[in-house]
Amino acid sequence: MRAPLDELHDELGIPEDYSTDGVPPAFEEAEDLVEVGPNLVGRMQRLVPETAERWQSMVEAAAADGVALMIVSGFRSVDYQARLIRKKINAGQIIEDILTVNAAPGFSEHHTGRAVDIATPGSRPLTEEFEETAAFGWLTENAKSFGFSMTYPRDNPWGVIYEPWHWSTGASAPQ
């Protein structure tokens, strides 16, 4: 019997060698999650407790320095990741292009509840222009002291696009 993740990958057209093609191993979905507030469109976001605490502390410290950090995305389930990819396929995108922006279900760092996509006022979310903001400068200088690091620098080993907005307290892996 095939694993449900294999069946889902077949349905989405994810290449069979995806997990052996320089991509880190699959992640387990976090189960113990806490709410950390709504994202830009009002959808409640959740993280594992330790990361949630670090996120809240980092947001408060940034605010004390006059920098606004807003959460775009936190925890994502395997099912939610699959819906994101289906939506892009239905919009005419090809899976090879999608996988440079979104990890295959089961391989997203967001499944751990330890990753956040960050935005700030005055900058379009989830775009490279984020690196030109005071928020990015603040994160570059201070995020490490809260246990966060940027997962996808330029020319990262996973072939994922540069994502200055994606920060994590966990092991680096595709978003």
Please identify every residue annotated as catalytic: 163
Biggest alpha carbon distance in the chain? 55
3-class SS of residue 28: coil
Joined tokens for residue 143: 């995020």
The 8-class DSSP code of residue 62 comes to: H
Q: Nearest to residue 88, comparing CAs of 107, 105, 112?
A: 105
| Lookup result for tokens 């807003």 | 70
Distance CA 35, CA 43 (A): 10
- Can you tell me the distance from the alpha carbon of 37 to that of 50, in angstroms, rounded to the nearest whole number? 15
* Token pair recorded at residue 43: 């959808």
